[in-house]
Amino acid sequence: MKRVAVQAGDFDVATELAALEALGGGGVASFTGVVRGGGGLVALELEHYPAMTQAQVDRICDEAMARWPLLGLSVIHRFGRLEPGARIVFVGTASRHRAAALESCAFLIDWLKSQAPFWKKEHFADGAAGWVEARAEDEAKAKGWIG
């Protein structure tokens, strides 16, 4: 099972996890990213490169399935305007081996954070707005994984 979705709308984590649990692998790992509030943030705007995103996420999912013995995975990334508390991203993996489920989940979220063609703009209560700067750490981490 490979489910990849790049969408504006929210998703239901329980539905995703139930599908992964039903694969019978015994172990399901997940990571959910949520918009953090604070500092007067009123919304995050996520822009992406539609022609590239789905294909790239699809490709990295194939890589994860080649590298770890996975029974299935589910990757969802939202775009558009998201308020604090909203889910942005979900990665779920299922395997007979808990280390495979956990490591592939970490691999995929690291990749999404550092290599997927998404850009975040922060909007603040005072009307200010600015693009989030990439963290050097994330760029370095992605290179380590991807080789």
Binding site for another protein (CB under 8 A): 33, 46-49, 51-52, 55-56, 77, 88-89, 98, 109, 112-121, 131-134, 139
Give 63's contacts (C-beta < 8 A, 6+ positions apart). Answer: none
Does 106 contact a second copy by CB under 8 A?
A: yes
- Residues paired with 122 in a beta bridge: 44, 130
Site string for a second copy, 107-136 (x = CB under 8 A): --xx--x-----------------------
- We find the least distance from the C-beta atom of residue 124 to another protein, in angstroms, to be 16
- 27 — phi, psi (to 5°)? -135, 130
Q: Which of 1, 8, 34, 132 binds a second copy (CB under 8 A)?
A: 34
How many other CB atoms sit within 10 Å of the CB of residue 66?
9
- We find the least distance from the C-beta atom of residue 89 to another protein, in angstroms, to be 5
- Residues paired with 124 in a beta bridge: 41
Match 């592939």 to its residue by tokens: 104
